[in-house]
Structure 1
Amino acid sequence: MSAAGVVIRPKDRVEMLFDELAELAGQRNAIDGRIVEIVAEFDHDELVGITGARSVAALVAWKLGMSSANAGTIAAVAHRLPEFPRCAAGMTEGRLSLDQVGVIAKKAADGSDDHYATFAEVATVSQLNTAVKLEPRPTPDPAPWSVPQRSITKTSDEQCVRYRMTLTHDDAATFDAALASHQDALVAEWKRDHDDDSAQAPPFPTAPDAFMSLVTAGWDADVARRPHGQHTTVVVHLDVKDRIASLHLGPLLTAAERQYLSCDATCEVWFERSGQVIGAGRTTRTINRRLRRALEHRHPTCAVPGCGATRGLHAHHIQHWEDGGTTELDNLVLVCPYHHRLHHRGGITITGPAPNITVTDSDGRQLHSSSLARPPNRPPPDVAPYRGPTGERADWWWYTPFEPPPPTDN
């Protein structure tokens, strides 16, 4: 009933509410489109590294206060923004939603912008998922006549080491099953500790994480047969005068790697002067159990603002151990492995004393855990109301999936 006593029929009321929802949805789509453009600048200009965030999605979740799933969708659209200009324009004009464009950006083939920009205006998110699945997949190369021999090759450069492994199909099936088993265990553990889908949680376990878990499990099972009967130990040779360190029978270490290994890692250090061994340091810089409990009670999560990691935390010396920093409560703080390495590489700076630490990025800006959200001081985008999908049942036998054009011979 209106203020004048006129009765508004439920049907008319529903239409009024739908009109308002359409207007708000169009404005929201346009706002999401602008957010994607801003995030694309962070992604394509590689500005994320100086913020202290571990990825574009983590930055979006942290600064916008949203779930990791929604942040991942924004990051995916931003990453492929140059490939889908028409779909992106549809979003900034209010005609397409972020979820619709997200499906396309995550799964659609290159060159399909024109195809999906038209189809998305009438298709639901579920129908877009089905349409993308109907795209033809690349034809696999024919199997060779001879069965390849099992092999592992290793190449390395200044940044990383790469392994390439060749297995027969039966061996590959065994390897895949073992890898999947370890990844399932890591995922279950991750979900048990982060059931709230926190955007600041450590990165979701991946196949490389599962592979390292498989290697570690095999090493632990075989520990009794190895000569020293102990877990892997990293041996480092350190020149006490010039502070130059190298792995045993391995390459030189950067200053960041040297400080990282001497912070809270299982690392056996041999001190040298003028190339001559003058003694061995402590086997580890690990924290005893009582001190570790005190650290966990004070900082149950990673101490870096915006990160809520709780498992696998490292005890970091605020004043580095090699600079005389003590292994005491006011000189220690718990950080996740990602931010621990980022600090030693110069990406963030951690200053104390604990527990009132200050974390700054590479430009000296102090990091805070709060999001950037604030009351708007600009008018909403002037866009047409969002029509939305038609909601009709899709007759897929009439639908022509997108097919990439054949390659041209130059």
Structure 2
Amino acid sequence: MAQDLITGLTERVDRLLADHDPATTDRLEFLRARFDAGLAWVHFPEGLGGLGLPRDLQIHVDALLARAGAPDNDPRRNAIGLGMAAPTILAYGTEEQKKRFLRPLWTGEEIWCQLFSEPGAGSDLAALATRAERDGDHWRVNGQKVWTSGAHKARWAILVARSDPGAPKHRGMTYFVCDMTDPGVEVRPLRQITGEAEFNEVFLTDVRIPDDHRLGAEGEGWRVATATLMNERVAIGGGDPRRESGMIGAVARTWRERPELRTPELHDRLLRLWVESEVARLSGRRLRQKLAVGEPGPEGSAAKLTFARLAQQLSGLELELLAEDGLRYSDWTMRRPEIVEFTGRDAGYRYLRAKGNSIEGGTSEILRNIVAERVLGLPPEPRTDKDAPWKDLPR
């Protein structure tokens, strides 16, 4: 059966390549044709970029197209759209929403960002204060969001707002798709310790969002947002890297190229971190196998937690290994980078940028709670605010 599926996919790829020669076809035209052929993400339904097949067959499709020199959709440019918005739209969107948003999202024609975190509700998303008030067939949204990656280049945003302040904090939210070009949306850069500004703060002032841009039912924003966050953590920590790629690869390369810097103590630490990185890589492969048969679970939180810890420990080890050379940072300029590139930069950048890994995509403290309660089955911490109306909570 599996071989029949692979044979059918191979034939479909061959037809796509015959009708749209990558050497002569415009890149965007090819990507649109690939989506329409169901070869964008084969586990999605037919008509939405997929064929309703097992997720793990995508690797076969990608390999065939790469071998033929076909362009990809440069997924790092739209990581939030592909890793978070797309699976959420598929799970909770209307048929009209799926048809409107998924194709230009996958091709990269429309970039997405995430309007979740707020200055007063960073680690506790359910405490958010951005208000969405119904106004006929629209919603009027006011508030402030923060740590928004890519907001300066995004056309669309996934947004959670407080629609019922009289309900308990987890039950009074609604989830929307927000047009970042609408009046009332203001994006301001946040300069990081690296000198760059990947992140932004976003101010929403009387932004009008049509009700047909709501994802899920009114008041069910927490349930929809939880699905988004689980996909986010899988996207950050559950990739499929090659052995000794990423941060461990950069440190191992330095170790081999600079033998004069080695010490027995650094050697022991590198070996330990190499083994932990390999365990994390193989655990991520198992997580993807589980994804092939269902929705992402709390295992994604563990994967992201491990990714953040290893990135920080490895970047610190690299700086120690390089001694005074590790203090160099060659490009301290205010930039708005298109993507975050760890391995293509110097060790100083990697060390500074890795500090954000334990904050973005869910803080490590919150993820430890999720793993403790939902994976290990430990008793949860007492939550006295769980059933109280949000408007009565101290802020």
Query: Which protein shows a greater Rg?
Result: 1
TM-score by length of 2: 0.23
More helix by percentage: 2
Structure of greater relative contact order (alpha carbons < 8 Å, 6+ residues apart): 1
TM-score by length of 1: 0.23
